[in-house]
Structure 1
Amino acid sequence: MHESPLLPVMIVDDETHLRITAAQTLTLAGYAPQVFESAEQALDALPHHFPGVVVSDIRMPGMDGMALLHEIKRRDPTLPVILITGHGDISTAVEAMRAGAWDFLEKPFAGEQLLDVVRRGIEKRQLSLENTRLKAELEAQQAALGPRLVGRTPVISHLAAMIQRISQVETDVLLFGETGTGKDLVARAIHERSARRNHPFMAINCGAVPEHTIESELFGHERGAFTGAVERRIGKFEHANGGTVFLDEIESMPPALQVKLLRVLQERSVERLGANETIALDIRVIAATKVDLKVAADEGRFREDLYYRLDVVTLPLPALRERREDIPLLFQHFAVVAANRSGLEAPTLDNHAVATLLAHDWPGNVRELRNLAERYVLLGAAFDYRLDVLLAGETASIEEPTLPRQVELFEKSLISQSLARHQGRVIDVCRHLGLPRKTFYDKLKKHGLSAEDYRHSSDP
């Protein structure tokens, strides 16, 4: 992340000399220092979503640095606070870190130490604010475009408008798009924006269900209808009454079943296998395909009459390469989701990473991008967050790792992040990870890590 010349840093200290010296150091480095001689003054001037960091002495008259830390954390838990301690006051430093301080500086400290800890704190703050901004943007888009659409390109805006329009009318829909373009999510978006939203959404993948059971899955059966039918089964169509049935990969539906589906679409009724009773249906059917059904019908691989019955409203879904401007936003969205789920951080993308994402052709579309974002968060530290490496040949070794290997990489990632955060300070890393020192060193050896690699030459 690049430093901005306008990023502010609050300096809170009752010693005039320290305030002046720190301000000069920060100004020369391109920051915008704001100096305060008391914690009360700093709190009065602290804005909401302050984009910088706070550096404060601990021992001050009136409100001290620890009280300032607690108040800032109450207002804004992600704002980095760096505390200045007296020489040899290790117990105070440990207490501060436990209370949520980002880091601490021990008097006397060099200007390089101040700049280093401020730089890392700024990076942390910018990441937190970026994630907050991204979440707000995603929530705004979800309100405007539907619950599962992410993007700003004209093609995705057009898709959102079509979803909104289609969801308000009672008609069956055919979704056409490559593998991984989000046909299932679009079907759910149509359902959730329709008047049927409070009724069932039943999804079935016609290509994943064995041919000898798919008829029972869709239509249900009576007890004794065939060998193994030991009790009555309610099929997907009947269960979805009042709601929506989503038939994915409909091109894989067996020809004999296509005839029965056509009858369901025309008559809006169904018969369970082994029954004579006709059950009226109030359903919408959304079908999805990754092949051109007209071509399949012309070639005799799909019933022509069923194709024309489904082709009332066809909604094409764009491939990811057709909406490249959305790729960074989508990637960051998936990374934030993965990070929140795993308790890890979602590193923001630098220019090289964005270029890597935009240059890739994405044959697996959004599904491939989501998988990459999850690997980036969970395993990225083991590969120096190199997206080109994760996308290239080395991905073969991590695409389907065994469970022990996943645990090993996850553990290495956590240790590496903690080492980087605490600049290789073993006592802080052990406290952060809750590990005895001997166990920690054993894990360093196991993962080929060294605390020295994370230390700066200016560190004590």
Structure 2
Amino acid sequence: MHDPAAAPVLIVDDEPHLRITAGQTLELAGYLPEPHSSAESALEKLMPDFPGVIVSDIRMPGMDGMALLKEVRLRDPDLPVILITGHGDISTAVEAMREGAWDFLEKPFAGERLVEMVRRGVDKRRLSLENRRLKAELEAQQAAPGPRLVGRTLAIQRLASMIQRIGQVQTDVLLFGETGTGKDLVARAIHERSPRGGHPFVAINCGAVPESIIESELFGHEKGAFTGAVERRIGKFEHANGGTVFLDEIESMPLALQVKLLRVLQERCVERLGANEPVPLDIRVIAATKVDLKVAAEEGHFREDLYYRLNVVTLPIPPLRDRREDIPLLFQHFAVVAANRSGLEAPPLDTRGISALMAHDWPGNVRELRNLAERYVLLGSAFDYRLDDLLEGVETTGADLALPQQVELFEKSLISQSLASHRGRINEVCEHLGLPRKTLYDKLKKYGLKAEDYRHKVKP
């Protein structure tokens, strides 16, 4: 009975003895050899995203190994092809490598060398296919309307469901979350999923605009309203008419301006500085804060009446440490985005890299993770793509989790990530993780994971 994690190997040779010998050697090593007496026969079996490698003799009647290599390269340039050359035929081997062969074997060769070469080829193929799946998923996400939340934990799926519901109702929203959790992305997602999606989304950071001009920024002014007002200015609220205003860091808004904001929320109109006539507004206001506004109101730092006016619908955004299982998937998502933008390639995470991600506390949340992914793509080659080196100097204590909890969380994350990458296809997950089918099913049951949950994208 074959190990479900084994990879197929097409053995192409017109000599039956070599096909049998190589096949037995690879089968004993745990692979699934598929012998073919001709290149034409092997090509008929070559399906898209073939998960293994090809081992082929060069000298064969009909289509020879070099012609097979060229055809395979046309179909899938990432598929490793190992060519077998005659003794002393160095010029042919050099030509094969120039044409894109993964490696070559010189007759006679030891079985151990064949197994080692196939092992490296299969590892390379798995990395290539994983990158391909990630890029395809990224393209699908980019094609979907509006911003998309990346993650499969219960916390992020609940958030996605709430975004969908809130988008369809006409109410102001208060977002509460730590720095870097993605409050701006959530605000944009609500806007895009609402009937206002085709109208302006106007964002303003209340903590970044000087207090002296924030009132003019929000409400606008008439010509001559104050020194320097040489012409009329339309404010952010008026510019967003029909759409959404996003007020980030609303806890930083001056108390005097909070009174005017409360009036705008209640009356749905705005008066420019220096004007007497109110301008009607059709807007939704989404405010975001990283502090507890109720506490801020009790301490006199925020108006209590404005807090209760904003608190109709409050949407908490979970910090990254509360959805650790999403960390590897998020990291790879950001790495693919950075690779596409920069034109560089970055290998998928290995086990050591995932371990480094899971051990870190992420005080900067998703923003910190995105920055690390960009450094991984841009600078990773200088560090041999070792995330522990890129994270050097940053505390990675694993927070308050005991060792058994960290181990289980790490294992669950690996399985969840593989299910996501392979869209819930059990055979591929078994192959990717090197697990027998029964062991995988036992672990799925242990961690409450279901393969069918990963077979279709979950749209927020």
Q: TM-score range by the shorter chain?
A: 0.7 to 0.9
Give the match's secondary structure for 1:366.
helix
1:360 aligns with 2:360: yes
Distance 1:134 1:257, change over 3 A: same
User: Does structure 2 retain, via aligned residues, the 8 Å contact 1:53–1:80?
Assistant: yes
Residue aligning to 1:376: 376
* Structure 2 equivalent of residue 41 of structure 1: 41
Listed as ranges, the gaps of 5+ residues in structure 2 are: 396-460
SS at match of 1:318: coil
Is the 1:332–1:348 Cα contact (8 Å) retained in structure 2? yes
CA displacement at 1:380 relative to structure 2: 2.8
Partner of 1:114: 114
Q: Distance in 2 between matches of 1:344 and 1:8?
A: 30
Q: Following TM superposition, by how much is the alpha carbon of 1:184 offset from its aligned partner in structure 2, in angstroms?
A: 0.6
How does 1:286-301 map onto structure 2 within 5 Å?
Answer: 286-301=286-301
SS in 2 for 1:345: coil
Partner Cα distance (1:355, 1:317) in 2: 25
Deviation per residue, 1:80-117 (Å, 9 max, x gap)? 22334456666655554554443444555554443343
Question: Could you tell me which residue of structure 2 aligns to residue 164 of structure 1?
Answer: 164
For residues 377 and 107 of structure 1, do their structure 2 counterparts lie closer, same or farther at Cα, with a shift above 3 Å needed? Answer: farther
The code of the aligned residue for 1:65 comes to G
- Counterparts of 1:76 and 1:130 in 2: how far apart (Å)? 14
Tell me the equivalent position of 1:184: 184
Aligned equivalent of 1:251: 251
Deviations 1:185-228 (A, max 9, x none): 11111111111111111111111122223223222233444344
Do the aligned partners of residues 305 and 76 (structure 1) sit closer, same or farther apart at CA in structure 2, a change above 3 Å counting? Answer: same
Tell me which residue corresponds to 1:66: 66
Relative contact order: is structure 1 or structure 2 higher (C-alpha 8 Å, sep ≥ 6)? 2
Query: What runs of 5+ residues in structure 1 fail to find an aligned partner?
Result: 396-460
Q: Percent identity?
A: 81
Alignment partner, residue 211 of structure 2: 211
Q: Is the 8 A contact 2:138 2:337 kept in 1?
A: no
Q: Secondary structure at the match of 1:245?
A: strand
State the alpha-carbon separation in 1 of the partners of residues 325 and 381 from structure 2: 26
Residue pair 1:222, 1:229 contacting (<8 A) in 2 also? yes
What amino acid is the match of 1:299?
Answer: E
TM-score, normalisation: structure 1: 0.77
Q: Is the 8 A contact 2:146 2:188 kept in 1?
A: no
Say if 1:141 and 1:149, in contact at 8 Å, map to a contact too: no
- 1:58·1:85 contact (CA, 8 Å) conserved in 2? yes
- 2:414 aligns to what? none
1:145–1:160 Cα contact (<8 Å) kept: no
Partners of 1:83 and 1:221 in 2: CA distance: 75
Tell me the alpha carbon deviations over residues 273-294 of structure 1, each in whole angstroms, 9 at most, x when there is no partner. Answer: 3333432211111100000011
2:363 aligns to what SS in structure 1? coil
- Check 1:235–1:4 CA distance in 2 against 1; reply closer, same or farther (3 A cut): same
In structure 2, what residue type is equivalent to 1:6?
Answer: A
Return the letter of the residue paired with 2:315: L
Alpha-carbon distance between aligned partners in 2 of 1:92 and 1:271, rounded to the nearest angstrom: 81
- Code of the residue aligned with 1:385 in structure 2: it is Y
Mapped to 2, the partners of 1:230 and 1:83 lie a distance apart of 77
Query: What does residue 18 of structure 2 align with?
Result: 18
Deviation (angstroms), 1:367: 1.3
AA in 2 matched with 1:63: M
User: CA offsets, 1:145-176, max 9 Å, x none?
Assistant: 97421111111111111111100000010000
CA distance in 2, matches of 1:363, 1:312: 29
Provide the secondary structure at the position in 1 that maps to 2:287.
Answer: strand
The corresponding residue for 2:392 is: 392
CA gap of 1:197–1:145, structure 2 versus 1, over 3 A, is: closer
- Give me the whole-angstrom Cα distance separating, in 2, the residues matched to 1:329 and 1:109: 41
Matches of 1:387 and 1:318, distance apart in 2: 24
Cα gap change, 1:263/1:221 in structure 2, threshold over 3 Å: closer, same or farther? same
Whole-angstrom distance in 2 between the partners of 1:155 and 1:144: 21
Provide the C-alpha distance between the structure 2 equivalents of 1:4 and 1:116, rounded to a whole number of angstroms: 20
Show the counterpart of 1:264.
264
Closer, same or farther: CA 245–67 of 1 in aligned 2, 3 Å: farther
User: Greater CA deviation, 70-79 or 245-254?
Assistant: 70-79
**Conserved? CA contact 2:222–2:233, under 8 Å:** yes
Instruction: Tell whether the 8 Å contact from 1:141 to 1:150 is kept in structure 2 after alignment.
Output: no
Q: How big is each residue's C-alpha offset from its partner over 1:41-73, in whole Å with a ceiling of 9 and x where there is no partner?
A: 001112332111112233332223333234333
Code of the residue aligned with 2:34 in structure 1: it is Q
**1:200 lines up with 2:200 in the alignment:** yes
Which residue is equivalent to 1:303? 303
Shift of residue 243 of structure 1?
Answer: 1.1
User: 1:178 touches 1:290 (CA, 8 Å); kept in 2?
Assistant: yes
Task: Measure, in 1, the Cα distance between the counterparts of 2:93 and 2:239.
Answer: 62
Q: Could you say what secondary structure the match of 2:33 adopts?
A: strand
For 1:222, give the aligned amino acid: E
1:353-386: CA deviation from partner (whole Å, max 9, x where unpaired): 3333223222111111222222233323333433
Q: Is the 8 A contact 1:219 1:234 kept in 2?
A: yes
Corresponding residue for 2:344? 344
Name the SS for the 1:393 alignment partner: coil
Q: Structure 2 matches for 1:307-322, cutoff 5 A?
A: 307-322=307-322
Moved more, 343-352 or 260-269: 343-352
Of stretches 246-255 and 29-38 in structure 1, the one that deviates more from structure 2 is 29-38
Number of matched residues?
393
CA-CA distance at 1:124 after TM superposition: 1.8
Look up the equivalent residue of 1:369 and give its one-letter code.
Answer: L
Residue type matched to 1:255 in 2?
A: L
The one-letter amino acid paired with 2:373 is: A
Cα distance in structure 1, aligned partners of 2:374 and 2:152: 22
1:350 CA displacement: 3.3
Tell me, yes or no, if the aligned pair for 1:142 and 1:149 is still in contact at 8 Å. no
Task: Please give the secondary structure, in 1, of the residue aligned with 2:161.
Answer: helix
User: Any residues of structure 2 matched to 1:93-112 within 5 Å, and which?
Assistant: 93=93, 96-97=96-97, 99-107=99-107, 109-112=109-112
Distance 2:76 2:272 in 1: 59
Describe the shift of the 1:4–1:122 C-alpha distance in structure 2 as closer, same or farther (beyond 3 A): farther
Quick one: structure 1 residues 99 and 147, their matched pair in 2 at CA, closer, same or farther if it must change by over 3 Å? farther
Give 3-state SS (helix, strand or coil) of 2:72's partner: helix
Q: Spell out the pairing of 1:437-456 with structure 2 (5 A cutoff).
A: none
Q: What letter matches 1:57 in structure 2?
A: D
Q: Distance in 1 between matches of 2:227 and 2:65?
A: 76
